[in-house]
Amino acid sequence: MIADDRGGAMNPIDSRLQDALDGERDPAELPADLRDAYVRLITAARLLEVVPPTTVADRVMAEIRRSPAPTLSPARRAARWLSRPRAITFRLRPAWTLALAAGLAAILLIPSEPGTLNPGEAQGVARFVGHFPGARSVEVVGSFNDWSRGKLHLQDDDHDGVWDGAAVLPAGQHEYMFVVDGERWVADPLAGRYVDDGFGAGQQNSLLVVRPASGTP
């Protein structure tokens, strides 16, 4: 079925015309109206058989080559080179990819040893240990972190109730307390130095004096 330009259906091609087009019938035998149709169809078919001398793409590229290239300064060319999006293709071997992923995971997930803390000249390493069996969290809050919560958490990886952690702090005196389970403020029983917190309830802060790692005053 052939659709006409109005969207309606056209009649199937006449079998005699079809035979003539297929070379199975002499076109001269066709009636006049079919012979006209035969001639038009053959002419159209021959036109379609002729390959144009150049394709559209060839003509466009030739036009581009003919037009003069714009002259750009080296800086402009560099900027254009840098700003132009480019496809980058990675060809990874699965074995190397897995090794790289494992290495990154090790760096990100394995906690660094306290000994790896690197204090600057006017800094020192402070270590905190507390025994809080059954606690869900223990953090250290003090003058070194503006008494802000959530900055220095102690760890109890083996769940034995002993929480510990270390931090690089500025050399000098720092007051601090442990906050257990986010609500209970406790002085460090192992601090050895205490000072009244000054709020009139007789509560004491733990006192930490950090010696500079360089050993100078």
Partner 1 sequence: MRLLCAVLLLATPLAAQDGGTRSAGAGGRSRERLEGRVPAAALPAIDSIIATAVAESLPTEPLIQKALEGSAKGIPADRLVGGVRRGLLQLRDARIIVARAVPTQPPPEGHVAAVAGALARGLSPSIVERLLTVAPTESPGPALHAAADMVAHHFDPDSAAELLVEAHNKGVHGVRLFDVALAADHELQRRGGRTHADALARVRAMLPNVPPPAPTQPVTRHGTKGS
Report the amino acid identity of residue 193: R
Tell me which of 47, 89, 201, 202 binds partner 1, using CB under 8 A.
201
Compute the distance between CA of residue 180 and CA of residue 192 in angstroms, rounded to an integer.
19
Residue 210, φ and ψ in degrees, nearest 5: -90, 125
Compute the distance between CA of residue 52 and CA of residue 176 in angstroms, rounded to an integer.
87
Span 3-22, contacts to partner 1 by CB under 8 A: none
Strands 9-10 and 162-170: unpaired
CB of 148 to partner 1, least distance (A): 7
Which helix (H) or strand (E) segment holds residue 165: the answer is strand 162-170
Specify whether the CB–CB gap between 195 and 175 falls below 8 A. yes
165 binds partner 1 (CB under 8 A): yes
137 binds partner 1 (CB under 8 A): no
Q: Tokens representing 31?
A: 């009636």
Piece of the chain touching partner 1 by CB under 8 A; list 14-22, 49-57, 67-75, 112-120? 112-120
199 binds partner 1 (CB under 8 A): yes
Tell me which of 103, 114, 133, 182 binds partner 1, using CB under 8 A.
114
Binding stretches for partner 1 (CB under 8 A): 113-115, 124-130, 141, 143, 146-149, 162, 164-166, 169, 172-175, 185, 188, 190-193, 195-201, 205-212, 215-217
